[in-house]
Structure 1
Amino acid sequence: MNLKQLSEHLKLSQTTVSRALNGYPEVSEATRQRVMKAARDLHYSPNLRAKGLATGRAQAIGHVLPISTQHEMVNPIFGDFISGAGQAYAGAGYEIVISLVGDDDEEAAYRNIRLRGSVDGIIVHGPRMKDPRIPLLTELGLPFVVHGRASQIDTPYSWLDTNNLRAFTRATEFLLDLGHRRIGLINGLEFMDFAFRRREGYVTALTARGLAPDPALMRSGEMTEVYGFRSAQEMLAGPDAPTAFLASSMIAALGVRRAIHAAGLEMGRDVSVITHDDDLGYLGNGQDVPLFTATRSSVRAAGTRAAEMLLQLIREPGHPPLTQMMEAELIIGSSTGPARR
């Protein structure tokens, strides 16, 4: 079925149907829903090439990933984000274009994308504290949404983020309420904005209780299972070992659990662990009872919402920047308990 046949079936003009399918604001919500339902029922699939020619758009969204061992994009969490974003793209008739570039070639890659007009917008991943991609994309005039924030950028821009500072303040307070005073932080790379904010939350909670943060109990690195294992193993072997850990990733937390067991201890009884849980489809946090107490925020939901925000910016050129803060839930699992005397 083509657009003309769908329009005839609905007794609407092709322009109205096209605008409804593309989410233009001048079409009423009732008409939009009617058109979308008919398109689904009749298995209408737009010709993306023809649609692009008609709208002057590429009908594609770009994700540019630097090839680096010191970057969070090596983390498989990216797959869940793309799954969520892909649902929103598909519903709007957009495709995903993923570009892998060298760490020193990012600026040239973005300029080339803008010159070729190969995408209509960009999702920016893994923002650093002072991320040069934000002023660059602003200069290029290419619609973009940042998954996260850049604390040292003052220029207004669109972003969607989890309240990492609040999540780790709350997690640290929970451990303090259980009587823990030696709490190890196994964090991500702290030039990344999310990791910086998580450390700030941890430090804020300790300081509020009159406890001085101990550098010997803080680690920053790529969030792998081996990193979690080695970091926890080093701390547990010290003369004043921590009674609890706060991990920035479920993957690193699995390494922490392995280190606890290797030391002949039991997680939840001898040593408590709280992790950040992105509610991943491929890495669940237990079955009926969560394995880890966790600050939970769905990265798949974040992908869907970030894509929706970007599509709105593409539909409405000149729209002011869009921002959204997602709050993390504190999920109680079997990995935490009172500090042992």
Structure 2
Amino acid sequence: MNLKELSQNLGLSQTTVSRALNGYPEVSAATRARVEEAAKAFNYRPSTRAKGLATGKALAIGHVIPMSTKHEMVNPIFGDFIAGAGETYARHGYEMILSIVADEDEHQIYRGLKSRRAVDGVIVHGPSMNDPRIPLLQELGLPFAVHGRATGCETPYAWLDVNNRSAFERATRFLFDLGHRRIALINGLEVMDFAHRRRAGYEDALRAHNVAVDPALMRSGEMTEVFGYQSTRDMLQETNAPTAILASSLISALGARRAVEEQGLTIGRDVSIITHDDALSYLQNGGDVPIFTATRSSVREAGRQLAHILLDIIANPGGTPKTTLLEAELMVGGSTGPAPRKD
């Protein structure tokens, strides 16, 4: 059913029906309720373009991803975040525009989105240290919210992040409580803000236990299964091998487990592993009892919440940027145990 047919069925003009569905105040509450009830009964949905013309908004949110940004696109975290954000957009009548662009074109894409009024706002993914996108978007006046934070960007901006430093400091302390002293870190790319904060939390716990930071026990790279495997394999071949490992993603932790088992060792007895778990819908860390001990925070819920933050900025411009810091929960699974005794 189209607008004309719905209007004829109700005995109202197309203008009145359109205004009722788009929230114009001059339409009476009784008429609005009648129109909305009929639209629901006939499964009528006004086109986003028509609503946009009526409201002066694009009713779309942009997600711009550079082609080289592997830490976003190869990781299932991105899919769950988009799913959560998409749920919020749909409930509020917004569409999503996903742009995969060459790195050198990224800034120009943001300028184009603004000049064409193609979107009402954008989500910034994978912030790096001193991320240049934040001052650019502030200069353009394009509403935005950041999934994460960017150390070095001092001007206030809206963001939602997990307390990565606290999470990895707590996870490292947990391993110390189990008697481990040789604790390794398999981290993400440390130009990324989240990885920088996780390393800081890990180092905080080492210093608190009077253990020197040992570069031989630290790896940084794309969070793939192969990276987790190779990093763990190499460290386990050292004379003074680690007895515990912190991994920045469940995917890297799977690679670490493969390397441990390849050496004929047992997870949780010979080598303990803690990972960060984003509670992914299609890569779950076990059932009621986690496979890996993990710092857990739902990235899908993060997508929902950050989408709400951005839509609020769009609806209420000029307010103080909202920031949200989520705390990760430490979930004890079968991958950790007391440090093995030395013979």
Task: State the TM-score, normalized to the length of structure 2.
Answer: 0.89
Which residue identity does 1:118 align to in structure 2? A
Larger-gyration structure (1/2) = 2
Matching of residue 84 in structure 1 with residue 84 in structure 2: yes
Q: What residue ranges of structure 1 are gaps of 5+ in the alignment? A: 25-31
Where do residues 1-341 of structure 1 align in structure 2 (5 Å cutoff)? 18-19=22-23, 43-68=43-68, 71-341=71-341
Task: State the TM-score, normalized to the length of structure 1.
Answer: 0.90
Distance 1:114 1:292, change over 3 A: same
| CA RMSD, Structure 1 to Structure 2 (Å) | 2.5
Distance 1:14 1:118, change over 3 A: closer
Distance 2:238 2:200 in 1: 24
Q: Could you list the per-position Cα deviations for residues 172-211 of structure 1 after superposition, in whole angstroms to 9, with x for gaps in the alignment?
A: 0100000000001000000000000000000001101111
Q: Tell me how far 1:46 sits from its aligned partner.
A: 2.5
Distance 1:262 1:215 in 2: 24
Q: Tell me how far 1:75 sits from its aligned partner.
A: 1.6
Which residue identity does 1:177 align to in structure 2? D
Distance 1:174 1:36 in 2: 55
The answer for the alignment partner of 1:27 in structure 2 is: none
Bigger Cα displacement from structure 2, 144-153 vs 104-113: 104-113
Which residue identity does 2:316 align to in structure 1? E
Q: Tell me how far 1:158 sits from its aligned partner.
A: 0.5
Q: Could you list the per-position Cα deviations for residues 87-132 of structure 1 after superposition, in whole angstroms to 9, with x for gaps in the alignment?
A: 0011111111111111121111111111111111100000001100
The answer for the alignment partner of 2:28 in structure 1 is: none
Distance 1:180 1:89, change over 3 A: same
Q: Tell me how far 1:76 sits from its aligned partner.
A: 2.3
Does structure 1 conserve the Cα–Cα contact (< 8 Å) formed by 2:86 and 2:96?
Answer: yes
Q: Tell me how far 1:16 sits from its aligned partner.
A: 6.6
Which residue identity does 1:160 align to in structure 2? L
Distance 1:14 1:322 in 2: 33
Distance 2:33 2:182 in 1: 55
Q: Tell me how far 1:35 sits from its aligned partner.
A: 10
Distance 1:205 1:165 in 2: 10
Which residue identity does 1:304 align to in structure 2? R
Which residue identity does 2:146 align to in structure 1? V
Distance 1:201 1:214 in 2: 15
The answer for the alignment partner of 1:29 in structure 2 is: none
Q: Could you list the per-position Cα deviations for residues 124-156 of structure 1 after superposition, in whole angstroms to 9, with x for gaps in the alignment?
A: 000001100000000000000000000110011
Bigger Cα displacement from structure 2, 92-101 vs 248-257: 92-101
Distance 1:33 1:263, change over 3 A: farther
**What SS class does the counterpart of residue 309 from structure 1 fall into?**
helix
Q: Tell me how far 1:319 sits from its aligned partner.
A: 2.2
Q: Could you list the per-position Cα deviations for residues 2-44 of structure 1 after superposition, in whole angstroms to 9, with x for gaps in the alignment?
A: 5868998xxx997575339xxx9xxxxxxx9999999767644
Which residue identity does 1:329 align to in structure 2? E
**What SS class does the counterpart of residue 284 from structure 2 fall into?**
coil
Distance 1:324 1:69 in 2: 24
Does structure 2 conserve the Cα–Cα contact (< 8 Å) formed by 1:73 and 1:126?
Answer: no
Distance 1:186 1:147, change over 3 A: same
Distance 1:273 1:84, change over 3 A: same
Distance 2:11 2:74 in 1: 45
Distance 2:34 2:140 in 1: 37
Distance 1:160 1:37 in 2: 37
Structure 1 consecutive aligned stretches of length 4 or more whose deviation exceeds 3 Å: 1-8, 12-17, 32-44, 69-73
Which residue identity does 2:299 align to in structure 1? V
**What SS class does the counterpart of residue 19 from structure 1 fall into?**
coil
Does structure 2 conserve the Cα–Cα contact (< 8 Å) formed by 1:73 and 1:125?
Answer: no
Number of equivalenced pairs: 328
Distance 1:35 1:114, change over 3 A: same
Q: Tell me how far 1:71 sits from its aligned partner.
A: 3.9
Distance 1:179 1:200 in 2: 21
Distance 1:160 1:101, change over 3 A: same
